[in-house]
Each structure stands twice: as structure tokens, then as C-alpha cells.
Amino acid sequence: MMEQRGMALPGPVLGDLGALRDAVQRVLDDHWVPEGYAAPHAGTYPWQWLWDSCFHVLVWQSLGRPDRAQSELASLFGPQAPSGFVPHMNYVRRPGAHADLWGRSDASSITQPPMYGHAVAELFRAGPPPPDEIVEAAAAGLRFLLEQRGRDDSGLVLLCHPWESGADDSPRWDDRCPGGFDVDRWRAEKNRLVTTIGFADDGSPLANPEFPVASAGFNALVAFNAGELASVTGDDGLAAAAGELAAALDARWDDDLGTWADAGPTADGSGRCRTADALLPLLVTENPVRAARVVADLCDPSAHGGPAGPAGVHRAEPVFDPDGYWRGPVWPQLAYLLVLGAARFDIDAAGRLAATTVAGAWASGLSEYWHPDTGEGLGATPQSWTGLALLLAERA
């Protein structure tokens, strides 16, 4: 394994992006559905997922299809609640598909990282900007999380369900699996946790007494997206809220482990596991010393580094499994975000991180996620959000 970490993976020459661009274009076109979005994978993921679609918006824009970027962005707000809550799944293709789980027919009853703040900001920067009603929908979604969602005593926003983090089986949740982590037992527990969420009158999820976890990764993405949206709209209130959340998050830094710790009941246990999603505060921290340590670990082959991109779990963690779902593989959306964070402090390291991720994405066949050393594709293949490799190649 140590020898594999030093190997270069086959991939398109970064100076000639034609093959990668063509491959990404085919995947996004093949996955496009008449309802106005790209299904992540036609067989495994036929519905619309919130943060997947936000990443697709970025890829469509890079492919020179602003029409589809705008369409996909608008479609994800279809089931938005009056409170601003945006569901993480939209069943516009077949309402009622999972109504028995969610208690509603049009969408899910939980959210996901609000990447629409970044998506809107990127469309502003590239032009043309989204319509005013879409910009306001994004602001409302972020205000719901910042103003109405439950908070931990630390000041961090609480999750209502582990799926809201996007990191479904992260080792960070292991303390909340009765009897210790087991895939089947954890699957049953996640289904049970849907039933214990506390909702507002309009169906917006406010808190879950059975999962009162404040995830460092999720909070980083709330703060990042609020700051991104405020940067193009001039919303001072949103900018201030983003700064306050980032400050509360930075207070969760664990200098011994070199990561940010979750708040809540897992704070002294699994909430300190060194995972890639827990390094997302790199997007919002103003501490260059901490940032330098995180960037070094992301590039270090004995930590998170690898020839196929950043491993999802630190290699020294006992739970590290390079083939295990959320236990060690490279996830392209996290790699993309970590590259953005690294670029704030070390542009050269960000370029190296981008290049290894592109190599892994290409070797995997644009898979959902992949082995950090070999690039072996895992999960659904191909997956639409791995088109982010095109954006990363442009940065490498």
C-alpha cells in the first residue's frame, strides 16, 4: 500500500482537457431528465438531490451551458417551504415514491448542505446571474438554517439527521449507533431517526432530540455558503451571521488531532475522528497556522494524501478503510471544496490536491467515490457530480 501511494495514476494530460470535457459532457447529457435537472445516476439515484444539483450547476456552467445551470438551480427550490427550508430530495419525477419514509409525497423532510449559496455566487461571477426570485430563495434557505434551526450551546447549528451532513456513514456518527457501528444496525437507526425529528407547522425540520449533533463540516458549509451569497448580494446580515458561525466553529479546533471537533453528545468521542468532511472549516477559518496544518495533512501520504485525491478518513484512524462507504475513499465534492479552502492559503498545494483528484476521477471512470491509492471506482458509476473534476483540472 505504501508503494501505491507514490504511484502516478493514468489520466488526461491536464494541459489538454478535451478528453475529460467530452466525458463529463456525455455524463451530464445522458443524466439530464425533462424535469430540468441531471439525475446523479439513472439506476441508483434517479431523484433530485440538493447538493448534487448545486454541484451540477457549476459543471453545466463550466461546460458552457448556462441555460441548464439556471434550470437545475431553479428546480431544486421547487419543494421549498415557506420557512425557507429546502428538502434534500425532490420527487418531481414520481411524487409519493418514498412518502412512507418522509411523511410527505413531494420531497424529503430533511435538508442537506446548502451549496446553493456557492452556486448562486458562481453564476453571478460568470454571468448571467440567476433571477431575483432564485437569489431570494437561496437567501431564505440559509436564513432558515441560521435563524430557525436549533443550536447547540457552542453556537453551532444542529443536524436533524446524519443524512443532512451529506456524509451518511461518517465515523463521526459512530457514537450514535447503538452497540457500535455496524452497517445494518446503522441503516435501521437512520430510518428510525427520521421519526424523531421535531417539525414546524409547515413541515420544516427544527431539531432532533435523538440526534443533537452539531457537525463541524455541516456548519462550515452553512457559513461558507452564507458568506458566498452575501459576497454577491451585499446582504450585510447574512455576512455577519456567516462570520459569527465561523468564529464559533473555530473554537472547536483540536490542536492535538489537527481537526475541528463536532459539538454535542459526540464531542469527546467519535465527533473527533479525523475525517475529510471535518476539515471543511478550511473554507472559513481565518487562522493561517491551523490552515497550514490542515493543508499539509491533506497532501501528506501518511495522513489524508494519496495519488487519487484526499482520503476521506485519516490513514492513522483505526476505522480507516479505503474501500468502505464514507470510511476512507475519495469523495469528489469534498475534494473540490477542500481545494477551494486550500487555495485561500496555499495555491500550489491546492493545485497538487486538484491534480491528484482529477487523476483519481479519471481512473475511476467518473465514479461516485473511489479508492484513494488506486483510483478504483466505487459506488455508482458514472456519477454526475464527479464532473467537478473538470473544474479541478482547470485549477491544477
Q: 376 Cβ partners below 8 Å, 6+ apart?
A: 323, 363, 364, 370
Report whether CATH 1.10.10.60 matches the domain 47-284: no
* pLDDT beyond 60 at 5: no
Identify which of 333, 125, 117, 152 has the alpha carbon closest to the alpha carbon of residue 228.
117
Domain ranges of the chain: 1-33+287-396, 47-284
266 in Cβ contact with 176 (< 8 Å): yes
The fraction of the chain above a pLDDT of 70, given in percent, is 96
Q: Hey, which residues does 107 pair with through a beta bridge?
A: 90
Identify which of 358, 343, 347 has the alpha carbon closest to the alpha carbon of residue 390.
358
How does DSSP assign 43-58, residue by residue? TTB-SEEHHHHHHHHH
Q: Give CA–CA dist 227/58, Å, rounded.
A: 17
* pLDDT beyond 60 at 3: no
Task: Dump pLDDT digits (tens) for 95-146.
Answer: 999 999 999 999 999 999 999 999 999 999 999 999 999 999 999 999 999 9
Q: What is the mean pLDDT of residues 307-312?
A: 98
* pLDDT beyond 90 at 4: no
C-alpha cell of residue 196: 424523531
Q: 132 Cβ partners below 8 Å, 6+ apart?
A: none
pLDDT of residue 290: 98
Q: 318 Cβ partners below 8 Å, 6+ apart?
A: none
Quickly state the pLDDT bin for 38 (edges 50, 70, 90). very high
Q: What is the mean pLDDT of residues 386-394?
A: 96
Q: What share of the chain is helix, strand, coil (3-state, %, to 5)?
A: 50, 10, 45
* pLDDT beyond 90 at 295: yes
C-alpha cell of residue 280: 471543511
Quickly state the pLDDT bin for 185 (edges 50, 70, 90). very high
Q: Give CA–CA dist 394/180, Å, rounded.
A: 42
Distances, alpha carbon 142 to alpha carbons 46, 207, 375, in Å: 26, 16, 35
Q: What is the mean pLDDT of residues 73-86?
A: 98
N-term to C-term CA, the chain? 25
Q: Kind and range of the H or E element at 37? A: strand 37-38
Quickly state the pLDDT bin for 271 (edges 50, 70, 90). very high
Quickly state the pLDDT bin for 394 (edges 50, 70, 90). confident
pTM of the model: 0.96
Residue 332 CB neighbours (<10 A) = 27
Q: What is the mean pLDDT of residues 256-263?
A: 98
C-alpha cell of residue 194: 427520521
